[in-house]
Amino acid sequence: MNEQKLGLGLIIFMPLLIGAALMIAPLVRRRFLMFSVRVAPGWSNSAEAQRIIRGYRIRVGCLSLAAVALGYWGMNAGAPWMLVSGPLLLTFGAVAAVVAGRRATLPYASTEPIARSASLASTAAPEANPLHFVLPFVILAGAAYWLKEHWDAIPARFPIHWDIAGNPNGWSERTARGVYGPLVLGAFLCVIMIATSLGLSYGSARLAGGKKTVRWQMLRMFRWLGYLMGLMFALIALAPLYPEYVRPGWLAPAIIAAIAILVIPVIRASSDPEGSEAERTPDEAWKLGLIYYNPADPALMVEKRMGFGYTMNFGHPLSWVLVAATLAIPVVVMIWK
C-alpha cells in the first residue's frame, strides 16, 4: 500500500514539477529575446508580451493537469499506455505551446539586421583543462581495483535496482559483467561528457564577460558533473560490498541536490546578467525557435535563445556524432544489465 501511495504521489508530483519549470522557461532568456524571437528593448515588459506569456502558461498548466489525470487513471486502471501517454503529451504539447508563443511574438520582431558577432576560440578555455577530465577515470579505476582485491567478499547475488519505496526489485550476480558493469557505464558517460565539454570549449564562440558568461558556467558545470559521475558510479559499483552505507534512500537525493547546485549558476548566467555579452545568431537559423541549424556557422554549440545553457548546431556534422553517442547509452545499459 505504501509503495502504491508513493507511486501515485510521484505520478502527480513530477508532471506538476515539470510544468512549473516550463512556466518559468520564458523568463530564462536574454532581454532582447522572447520565445526565441528578437524584439525591441523593453518590449518584453509590455502588456502584449505579458498576454503572450500568460497564454503560454495556461497551455502548459492544462497539459500538466492532463498528464496528472492520465497517470492517475492509468495507475488505477492498470493501463501502462496511459502512464506513458502523460509524459508524451506534456513533452510534445510544451513544444507546441512554445511554437504558438513564437508565432504570436513574430509580428513584434525586431527588423534590425544581425550578423554572427563572435568567432571561435583558437584554444580551449582554461576551465576546460584536460587534466580535469582525468579525475573521474581515476575514481572509477580505483573502485575497479578495490572490487578486484575484495572479490571474494562480494555476495554471489546482490540488488542493482530499487523501487520508489527503496525495496530491491532487480538483481545481479558476482560476474565480471555484474560487478564491473556500473564502472563501464560510468566511464562511457564520462567520455560523452568530456566530448561535449571539449566541443563547447573549442567549438563555441568566445564572448566577453569572463565568469559571468553562460559558456564559462557551462564548462564549470561539466567539469564538476564529471567528478560527480565518476563518484556516483563508483559508489554504485561498491554497493554490494557496503550495502549498509551505500543505499538509494540517500544516494539519489544527494545526486539530485548536487546537480541542482551546479545548474543554478548556469540558469542565472542565462538570465542576462550585467556585464555578460550575448551571443548573436541569425534568426533564420532557428527552426521553431528551439533547433539551431546553420551549416555556414563553424560553431558546434551555440547559446540557447530560450531556457538555459547551450544547444548543438545541427548543421555541424559533429553534432550528429554526439547525438549518436547519447542514443547509444540505453544500448550500453542493456548490454551490461
Task: Please give the mean pLDDT across all residues of the chain.
Answer: 83
Which residue is associated with the grid cell 518584453? 44
Q: In which band, very low, low, confident or very high, does the pLDDT at 1 lie, cut at 50, 70 and 90?
A: very low
- Distances, alpha carbon 39 to alpha carbons 23, 48, 185, in Å: 20, 12, 44
Residue 148 is predicted with a pLDDT of 94
Q: Report how far residue 292's alpha carbon sits from residue 42's, in angstroms, rounded to the nearest whole number.
A: 25
Q: Is the pLDDT at 268 greater than 60, yes or no?
A: yes
Q: What percent of the chain has pLDDT over 90?
A: 25
Q: Are strands 286-287 and 168-173 parallel, antiparallel or unpaired?
A: unpaired
The model's confidence at residue 122, banded by pLDDT at 50, 70 and 90, is very low
pLDDT at site 274: 54
Q: CA nearest 125: which of 256, 223, 241?
A: 223
- Residue 123: pLDDT band (50, 70, 90) is very low
Quick: pLDDT tens for 273-323.
Answer: 554 566 778 888 888 888 999 998 888 899 888 888 889 999 999 888 888
What one-character DSSP code corresponds to residue 294?
-
| Predicted confidence (pLDDT) at residue 52 exceeds the cutoff of 80 | yes
Select the highest-mean-pLDDT range: 61-70, 121-130, 157-166: 61-70
The whole-model pTM stands at 0.75
> Where are the alpha helices (H) located in the chain, listed in sequence order?
2-24, 47-77, 80-105, 134-149, 176-202, 214-238, 248-270, 317-327, 329-336
| Average confidence (pLDDT) over 172-188 | 89
The domains of the chain are located at 2-108, 126-336
The answer to whether residues 195 and 141 touch, using CB atoms and an 8 Å cutoff, is no
Evaluate if residue 165 carries a pLDDT over 70.
no
State the first-to-last Cα distance of the chain, in angstroms, to the nearest integer: 29
